[in-house]
Amino acid sequence: MADAGLRCLEVQPLVITADVATTRRDAARVGEIAAALRAPWIQSGLNGELDDDAVQALRESAGIVSGHGARLALEYLPFTPIRTIADTRDLIARAGVDARIVVDTWHFFHGPDDWEALESLSLSELAYPQFDDHPELSSDDLMYETTQRRVLPGDGVLDLKRFCAVLRAKGYRGPVSVEILSAEMRAWTPEDFARRVYAAAAPFWS
């Protein structure tokens, strides 16, 4: 990676559950990977109910990964208990952790959030955006749609120009994680994937 002039943005996933011991063990494992790759972020999310044990697991995990020089980047999804920017903000405050929020375009456009919610997100709260697009949905199965049918930015129906404009108006000039989950694109070579994804995404942010 160093020879290619690349750096690792994130290690993922760290899944937070009410099983505190298992989450603590997983945090130690991904923390070691983040330290080896010098990744500043460990992407994380909640799986299951948001109860006191889950909050405790989040609190302990944040402390563990901090010891490895990383921070948690929490992603919200429309089909989990943490569905919005406000939900994620409240969870961070409840746990009292030094974590930030990941906003994925797919989840933003399919959750309850509106443009006002995105505009309320401060740069100090944002870890980084995840950037992707999708065609017209073919089913009501959001899990299938989000993991199998994403397309290159600009090839779908999402209003990515406005999304970028909101973040750039805040002064965001940080990294952008282009997360294309696609059954079709998994057949591409890594080199072809990297070239085509960069060519599609870069104009939105330049």
Is residue 18 one of the residues assigned to a domain? yes
Is residue 36 one of the residues assigned to a domain? yes
Is residue 123 one of the residues assigned to a domain? yes
Q: Which residue do the tokens 């972020």 mark? A: 41
Q: Give the count of domains, the chain.
A: 1
Residue-wise pLDDT for 102-125, tens only, equals 999 999 999 999 999 999 999 999
Output the pLDDT for position 2.
Answer: 86
Bond from prior residue into 13 cis (ω within 30 degrees of 0): yes
DSSP-based three-state secondary structure for 146? helix
Is residue 72 one of the residues assigned to a domain? yes
Treating both helix axes as pointing N-terminal to C-terminal, what angle do 20-37 and 52-66 enclose, rounded to 10 degrees? 30
Asked whether the beta carbons of 9 and 3 are under 8 A apart, the reply is no
pLDDT of 61 over the 90 cut: yes
Q: Which residue do the tokens 């994680």 mark? A: 177
We report the CATH number of the domain holding residue 15 as: 3.20.20.150
* Phi/psi at 205 (5° precision): -110, 0
Is residue 5 one of the residues assigned to a domain? no
Domain span including residue 169? 10-200
- Residue 203: pLDDT band with limits 50, 70, 90: very high
pLDDT of 4 over the 90 cut: no
Rounded to two decimals, the pTM is 0.94
pLDDT of 99 over the 90 cut: yes
Residue-wise pLDDT for 37-48, tens only, equals 999 999 999 988
Question: How many angstroms separate the Cα of 156 from the Cα of each of 139, 149, 160?
Answer: 16, 10, 9
Is residue 57 one of the residues assigned to a domain? yes
Is residue 3 one of the residues assigned to a domain? no
Is residue 176 one of the residues assigned to a domain? yes
The side-by-side arrangement of strands in the sheet containing 177-178 is: 10-16, 41-46, 71-75, 99-104, 126-131, 177-178
